[in-house]
Structure 1
Amino acid sequence: MIVMMTFFLFQLYEHHLDIRQMQVGSEFEMPHHGILQVHILGEISSAKHFEYDHLFVHYFFELPKGWSCETTKQLSGVTQTCSARQTGIANFSYLFELQLSFNLEVLQTETDVLLSWPQMFIKVLSSDSWTRCRTEGYGYVSLPPSPGLHTIVVSTWRPLSSNPTGEMRRFFIGGSPELEDIDFVGIPSNFQDSLLSKYGLHTITSGDVTVKFNIMHHSQALAGSDTVADGGRGDARVNRYSSFLLERLSAATLVSSVNAVLIAFKRARERMLKARDGLEA
């Protein structure tokens, strides 16, 4: 009896192993030379501190120059509606999967162009039992440049009406001011000028959305296949190349921050000079 049970369990194990082999395959497919693949397993975890209940999130990814995605349906999605009435936190636990490709040749050809990581734009909405739909907040986050698990809290905001009538309409019949182009939350991809002015836009702080990214980088350029051939120097070369890649792709964020500081300093200096001229006069 024990022998028969052991044989049966062995057959069952082999059957499940064959099924897994058919699903996964026997070979790990490498990307083409000069291509960096970024595999993302993400989760829109929760949302809190929003004004109204029954929240849902609409999200989409914007790909800068050099990035591509074979399945465009993965670039956008909508979560289920979740109530936050009891705890004040809407727990979505909404999973999404994304596979992006970056052409490493752009690093060699576009030496004067700042390259950046894809951005995830978020729009939080609410809908009640009277089908009154309201925009609760906008936010965005850049894809983390390093592989691994990342938990990011995205702070949001929403446009505010310039008169009380708009807020009364929002309360009684729903509806609220919306952005014509959600790219305006960050920096639009088609923006060509040196300065993006958002002056005159009345906004109010909204809630927070927690997003988790589990990221894996896959590329022949990052593989240490030549480690043995060069006596162990392959790892150092791969680490240097990986560091160069991440630093180059992250340069846009750094330079934007530096430019923002320089612009603020220039404006402060101009105001100081005008004030000094007024005192001398």
Structure 2
Amino acid sequence: MNDFNRFNKVSGIYWLKKGLSDLKIKIKLKPQDGIISLPKFEDYSKGSNALNLENTTEEYTFKWQEKVFSCWEVQRYTDHHNCITETELNYHEQINDIDYKPGKIFTYIHEDYYLPLPLDCKKKKDGILKLDSYMEQLSLNDPIARVFGGETISTTHLFKSEENLDVDQEEWIAMHVVYDSSDYNEDKHLIFKQEVTLLSLYHNISQNYLIITPDVNNLELNPYCVETLSGVLLGYQYAVEVEFNDVESGEELVLLLKKLHKRWERKQKHLLNFYMPPLGKKQYYISLEILTATGFDMDNLYIEFDIKVPEELECKDILQGRTHISEAATVDNIEEWSFGHVIEFSLEMDSGTEATPLKFFMEAISTDWWGRHRTEGYCYLPLPLEPGCFTQELTCRRPEEINSVEAKSRRFFLGGCHLIKDLNVLVEPQTKDANFTYITTGSIKVRWNIISQTHIGNMGTTLVAPVSGGASTASALLRGAEAALHKYKQARARLAAATKQIGDVHGEGDG
């Protein structure tokens, strides 16, 4: 199955009683960075001054094994010479029979063989871990030893060789919902093909259960991000919904699943306590990870880091430190040092200003048995506060004295000396007068994630409410505003009624 490596994209297993003839699959897609579409200049030129507050969420509905073509598929199957198999000829007839409009989100059905089936034994030469072997051996009523085979607790009993596997016992039908992010020219001809699998469904016919990858979710609470296999975000979020409308194929199970899902949503809303930043402030949440290092001469490396924050930003976290000492491991004939050191901190600034990039300095240092610490190289990364996930490999340089003989001797016997007193010399080395030279050494691979958060409210209205624990959620503020508005309407109605009653009494007395 697909490897969804981030955002908790887990799989769900649904047991069925009959087929999936009335299965409905819904994909809700929206832009990642904004929910509200701002008005264009043309809207004001037509005399409309109101903001367009409509939700830009797009909804796509598919049936089980429903074929929806992409733009490049329409171009391919329109030409009869590109159709060889029986399936391709059928697609050619379908497209030519109707005026078909390709979709941004399309489907691959079982006949397309888009991705390998789960536990597909025919296409693998190694041992296979079968889901049915788990189901047969897992019994909650048996002792633990009986679950693992009875004689010994060993995971080797859960694996079977290919010779003992009965391939004919596993029958699967697959369907995939895919996002088309390919590039086309003005004539809609394919320039660069790129697809992102949003949803995969696998139906096991023999055991009659459905595997959904990723599982159903909520677009507001835990949306999935549309990203390529290399981790590049495409600027969209989506949610998955599955409806079992077939009454004859397990109505009780469907109702139970829906109730459990609603209960799970209520529990998530209760646990999720989202705190908005103060009005007029912008907050950044940054997670830096020092991944690996390669190309250095000495072993037993560790990385010292220092993060410089501009004056317009406020930070209360610690921005200096070091990683653990790592020994080299050979990967594809290349020595590599693994760290996986995570640095997390938050920043705050005024929402009306723009911050300059952060300065991220790193120094690779090696140690030996004599206790000497040698500088293996420095690197500098300007870190702009741009939301998203990024990965970069930084080249390191080591300062050395101009006299190479003296520099090598000092480095061998004493471990060298600290020639850089101020790390800012790495930012603009040409502007600093230095009595040393630089030597290119190894490289350090880093990855960082940045989240930006701003509280945009009505600047003409101030809401004052008692806050529990020094903070308040957006839902609590909304409920408080609605309650205050309701009480205001009630008081105004009572005042109008009392004024009318007093006016009636005075009118009778004058007559």
Q: TM-score, normalised by structure 2?
A: 0.34
Match of 2:314 among 25, 46, 68: 68
Does 1:77 pair with 2:321? yes
**Map of 1:160 onto structure 2:** 400
Separation of aligned partners in 2, 1:117 and 1:103 = 15
**Map of 1:245 onto structure 2:** none
CA contact (8 A) 1:167 1:176 kept: no
Separation of aligned partners in 2, 1:147 and 1:198 = 36
Secondary structure of residue in 2 paired with 1:204? strand
Secondary structure of residue in 1 paired with 2:425? helix
Separation of aligned partners in 1, 2:433 and 2:424 = 12
**Map of 1:128 onto structure 2:** 368
Does 1:208 pair with 2:448? no
**Map of 2:347 onto structure 1:** 100
Shift of 1:144: 3.8
Shift of 1:42: 1.8
**Map of 1:180 onto structure 2:** 421
Match of 2:455 among 200, 215, 220: 220
Separation of aligned partners in 1, 2:308 and 2:293 = 22
**Larger helix proportion, structure 1 or 2?**
1
CA contact (8 A) 1:35 1:219 kept: yes
Aligned-pair RMSD on alpha carbons?
2.9
Instruction: Tell me which amino acid in the other structure corresponds to 1:155.
Output: T
Instruction: Tell me which amino acid in the other structure corresponds to 1:134.
Output: R
Shift of 1:178: 2.9
Separation of aligned partners in 2, 1:56 and 1:155 = 16
Separation of aligned partners in 2, 1:37 and 1:187 = 29
Instruction: Tell me which amino acid in the other structure corresponds to 1:47.
Output: A
Instruction: Tell me which amino acid in the other structure corresponds to 2:426.
Output: V
Change (3 A) 1:35 1:160: same
Does 1:90 pair with 2:348? no
Separation of aligned partners in 2, 1:38 and 1:62 = 15
- Report percent identity of matched pairs: 29
Give CA deviations for 1:156-202 in whole Å, capped at 9, x if unaligned.
111112221221121233233431112221159xxxxxx82346541
**Map of 1:145 onto structure 2:** 385
CA contact (8 A) 1:38 1:215 kept: yes
Separation of aligned partners in 2, 1:103 and 1:54 = 43
Q: Which of 147-156 and 163-172 deviates more?
A: 163-172
Instruction: Tell me which amino acid in the other structure corresponds to 1:183.
Output: N
Separation of aligned partners in 1, 2:329 and 2:408 = 22
Q: Which runs of 5+ in 2 are unaligned?
A: 1-139, 141-259, 458-511
Change (3 A) 1:128 1:218: same
Q: TM-score, normalised by structure 1?
A: 0.61
Separation of aligned partners in 1, 2:315 and 2:438 = 33
Report which of the two structures shows the higher radius of gyration computed on alpha carbons: 2
**Map of 1:9 onto structure 2:** none
CA contact (8 A) 1:136 1:206 kept: yes
Shift of 1:128: 1.1
**Map of 1:116 onto structure 2:** 356
Give CA deviations for 1:134-170 in whole Å, capped at 9, x if unaligned.
0111111122432121001111111112221221121
Separation of aligned partners in 1, 2:377 and 2:361 = 11
Shift of 1:32: 1.1
Shift of 1:104: 2.8
Separation of aligned partners in 2, 1:148 and 1:67 = 19
Does 1:44 pair with 2:290? yes
CA contact (8 A) 1:157 1:206 kept: yes
Shift of 1:67: 0.9
Q: Which runs of 5+ in 1 are unaligned?
A: 3-12, 108-114, 189-194, 224-281
Larger RCO, structures 1/2 (Cα 8 Å, 6+ apart): 1
| Aligned length, in residue pairs | 190
Instruction: Tell me which amino acid in the other structure corresponds to 1:167.
Output: K
1:8-47 aligned at under 5 Å gives the runs 26-47=272-293
Separation of aligned partners in 2, 1:130 and 1:89 = 23
